[in-house]
Amino acid sequence: MTRLFALVLGLLSLTACATMEPTATSYDRPGFVTEVKDGRLWVFRADSKELADYRKQGEPAQMVTRIGAGPNGMTIRAADAAVIDAYLAAK
């Protein structure tokens, strides 16, 4: 019975970890701040108006999306293409 309990508890732990989104800070790069929402990576220049607006109002009406272009094949979104390009070029 103890082994069964341990097995069930282990499986529940793995399931919980698998459904959690990675923290945005794990994708931050110098000069950029990221947010993960619905499995998509939002990219902003640090201290930008777009970041402040996103945190206050949510997704902008106009955005650029690149499917599968982000880390680990994530979809990446930003207010404009130049931010995505600069983020991807940053190390």
Using an 8 Å Cβ cutoff, are 27 and 36 in contact? yes
Query: What radius of gyration, in Å, describes the C-alpha atoms of the chain?
Result: 17
pLDDT at 3: 61
**Predicted pLDDT at 7:** 42
- Kindly give the confidence (pLDDT) of every residue in the chain, 91 residues in length, as a single tens digit, with 9 standing for 90 and above: 566 544 444 444 444 444 455 555 689 999 999 999 999 999 999 999 999 999 999 998 899 999 999 999 999 999 999 999 999 999 8
The pLDDT value given to residue 91: 82
Between CA 78 and CA 68 the distance in angstroms is 14
The domain locations on the chain are 22-89
Give the three-class secondary structure for 17: helix
